[in-house]
């Protein structure tokens, strides 16, 4: 007989040591990111902040809690994630310790410990809650996969490499030159 896994809410994990995500009641400890991961996050933050600042949107760096289901009572939430970058244009969603509801744009930088979760569980969560656009950044392959939400699901998809200029489906005037996003290949990180 298989033992049932424990089910957690935000109330259970909010004071645990370290940075935790909670997906459908299952807690995940977030590993300390690598230099390469932080380099990519920093470069994308610069590009996104310069684009969205004039539009009244906020670009939020992890760790910052995102409670995707805004109807769930705060401490009883079963799904609270910490995307590497979130773009939020509805400022009323942002509280001091978390935001409630789906960000407009989510960026996740894949690492060996998170890639499967980012490509599967988080993909379906972001799709379910209506994130307009989801960028999955793969530093090892030096690519960014862009998924755009339409008619209740992610439908449009494009993959951009380091010599490309990424163009957003959600915000067509948002373009990001990817050459400076990835650290130089000769860097031993």
- Bond preceding residue 63 cis, omega within 30 of 0: yes
pLDDT in tens, 107-119: 999 998 899 999 9
pLDDT in tens, 89-112: 999 999 998 999 999 999 999 998
Residue 3 pLDDT: 63
pLDDT in tens, 172-188: 999 999 999 999 876 44
Provide the number of structural domains found in the chain.
1
Q: Does residue 74 fall inside a structural domain?
A: no
Global confidence as pTM: 0.92
Q: Does residue 158 fall inside a structural domain?
A: yes
**Residue where the block lists tokens 């004039």:** 54
Q: Does residue 9 fall inside a structural domain?
A: no
Q: Does residue 17 fall inside a structural domain?
A: no
Q: Does residue 19 fall inside a structural domain?
A: no
DSSP bridge partners of 183: none
CATH number at residue 158: 3.90.1570.10
| Residue 92 lies in domain | 32-62+81-177
């Amino acid at each position: 007989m298989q033992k049932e896994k424990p089910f957690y809410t935000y109330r259970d994990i909010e004071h645990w040591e370290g940075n935790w995500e909670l997906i459908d009641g299952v807690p995940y400890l977030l590993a300390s990111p690598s230099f390469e991961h932080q380099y990519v996050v920093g470069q994308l933050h610069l590009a996104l902040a310069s684009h969205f600042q004039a539009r009244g949107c906020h670009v939020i760096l992890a760790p910052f809690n995102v409670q995707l289901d805004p109807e769930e009572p705060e401490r009883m939430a079963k799904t609270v994630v910490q995307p590497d970058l979130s773009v939020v244009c509805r400022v009323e969603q942002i509280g001091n310790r978390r935001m409630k509801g789906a960000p407009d744009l989510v960026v996740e930088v894949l690492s060996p410990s998170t890639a499967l979760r980012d490509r599967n569980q988080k993909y379906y969560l972001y799709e379910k809650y209506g994130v307009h656009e989801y960028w999955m950044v793969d530093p090892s392959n030096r690519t960014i996969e862009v998924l755009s939400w339409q008619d209740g699901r992610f439908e449009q998809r494009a993959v951009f490499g380091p010599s490309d200029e990424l163009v957003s489906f959600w915000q067509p005037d948002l373009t990001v030159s990817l050459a400076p996003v990835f650290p130089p290949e000769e860097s031993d990180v």
